[in-house]
Amino acid sequence: MSDILQQVKDRDPQEREFHQAVEEFLNSVQPVLEINPEYRHAKILERLVEPERVIAFRVPWLDDQGQVQINRGIRVEMNSAIGPYKGGLRFHPSVNLSILKFLAFEQVFKNALTTLPMGGGKGGADFDPKGKSDNEVMRFCQSYMCELFRHIGPNTDIPAGDIGVGAREIGYLFGMYKRLANEFTGVLTGKSLNWGGSLIRPQATGFGVVYFAKEMLFTKEQSLKDKVCLVSGAGNVAQFTTQKLIEFGAKVVTMSDSSGYIYDENGIDDEKLAWIMRLKNVRRGRIKEYTQKYPEAVYTRVDSSSDHHPVWDHKADCVFPCATQNEINQKDAENLVKNRVIMVTEGANMPTTLEGINVLMDAGILFAPGKAANAGGVSVSGLEMTQNSMRLSWTRQEVDDRLNIIMQSIHKTCVETAAQFGMPGNYVMGANIAGFVKVAEAMMDQGVV
């Protein structure tokens, strides 16, 4: 295991996020390799850490002043052993190959856990949608798709949203794909409802996170009712995590964006959340404006060079990091332990550092990794693909019921797999091993490809 990690590090020394995701995974799967020596001979791990294909391309576009702008576009097609590449697109200035490889790597095992036939991929660009006009976003998306379209397809690679890519961007991307390919197909998910989207897809990641959290608490004979919760982020995942937590009787006291966070001691209720959704999704404003509307709340600006994130200093029962990678470090985790948090459920991808995870698990805190807990989004993307293929639409209730069943099934798989390997309650091991075995078996069946 350490040899493989070292090879990955030596080959691409600058890819820190990718190394982190690979290390967490390798730490879990050792016992599977011991009982399946054939995986070693077939070099399954060595193949898993090498993307099947990486596409990198120039994205030139004209801004509103008529100036030429150039961004870098990437799509990582990581593994197609159990289905076509599937995973989101991220538009954020921090995007680079390391971040997209870590996301694509985690997506492979997440998608395997969903029970649906989807391989793993991820893509994006170092484009910053913040402060751009709708026309600029449209021109960027059109230019991005002018190259991407030749690499994707409803049976090849099906992108969706992630940070900075929501319904607006999916619409512009789809419009250009349709024009170039001369086909109306389910090549993207997260589409709007009236042209092929699925009910519940916007809500799916956040709702799924809370369905998963409910199952976790149930193992301790507890429920979300009256639990005080810290949520980070104020985007798609954070909004619908908060909405479902409120519905289940929990009290959410924080939300954040990359500039800072709000703490509302009285709890964010449905009306306040609706205001945040308009702020973020329509006006595209900053979370600090919340305190102008609700002066009882406190806004704290966050200095990104600080050694910890103050949102995690608050007393709470349950914690839902829903913004981005590495937002809970060792010190944050120690603060959560000190405050006697009982559960951390990851809505974002890899929001907790390796050191942070160790602190939480050593303290006996219930901890669920994003690849299990946030799989509801891609699951409903899979259901959107099914509906597109069948050329029909399911009702809200039908999709929500299926989402709930999938999250319960992922939870059960994690718990049973962890117990089978002698680590009861270890969701990290459960998720990694169960996802790995499904993909490894498919790779063994398909030979050296």
Q: Which does 258 bind (CB under 5 to 8 A by kind): ligand 2IT, ligand NDP, none?
A: ligand NDP
In 80-119, at which residue ranges do the beta strands (DSSP E only) sit? 85-91
The answer to whether 351 touches 327, Cβ cutoff 8 Å, is yes
Chain positions contacting ligand NDP, by CB under 6 A: 92, 94, 161-164, 205, 233-238, 257-259, 322-324, 347-349, 374, 377
Among 51, 74, 78, 86, binds ligand 2IT (CB under 6 A): 86
Q: What is the dihedral of CA 59, 60, 62, 65, to 10 degrees?
A: 100
Any residues with CB less than 8 A from the CB of 22 and at least 6 apart, and which? 4, 5, 8, 49, 105
Does 417 bind ligand 2IT (CB under 6 A)? Our answer is no
Environment class of 302 (CB within 10 Å of its CB; exposed 0-12, middle 13-18, buried 19+): middle
Q: Please state the separation of Cα 29 from the chain's center in Å.
A: 22
In the set 101, 110, 122, 244, the catalytic residue is 122
Contacting ligand 2IT (CB under 6 A), which of 44, 148, 160, 440?
160
**Closest CB to ligand NDP among residues 39, 290:** 290
Partner whose footprint covers residue 164, from ligand 2IT, ligand NDP, none (CB < 5 to 8 Å by kind): ligand NDP
Closest CA to 104 of 46, 162, 147: 162
Binding mask 140-159 for ligand 2IT (x = CB under 6 A): --------------------
122 carries an active-site annotation: yes
Q: Is residue 310 at the binding interface for ligand 2IT, with CB under 6 A as the rule?
A: no
Site string for ligand 2IT, 380-409 (x = CB under 6 A): -x----------------------------
In degrees, rounded to 5, the angle at the alpha carbon of residue 397 between the alpha carbons of residues 396 and 401 is 120
H or E element, residue 306: none
Of the ranges 80-88, 261-269, 321-329, 351-359, which one interacts with ligand 2IT (CB under 6 A)?
80-88
Contacting residue, 84, 87, 196, 202, with ligand 2IT by CB under 6 A: 87
Contact 162, 122 (CB under 8 A): yes
Single-letter amino acid code for the residue at 425:
G
Strand pairing of 85-91 and 157-160?
Answer: parallel
Number of separate helices (H) and strands (E) present in the chain: 17, 12
Q: Are strands 85-91 and 120-125 parallel, antiparallel or unpaired?
A: parallel
Q: Which stretch binds ligand 2IT (CB under 6 A): 51-59, 179-187, 375-383, 402-410?
A: 375-383
Q: Between 22 and 234, whose beta carbon lies closer to ligand NDP?
A: 234
Half-sphere exposure of 435 (CA within 13 A, CB side): 32
Q: How far is the CB of 208 from ligand NDP (least distance, A)?
A: 9
Positions in the binding site for ligand 2IT (CB under 6 A) = 86-88, 107, 110, 160, 162, 189, 349, 377-378, 381
- List the catalytic residues: 122
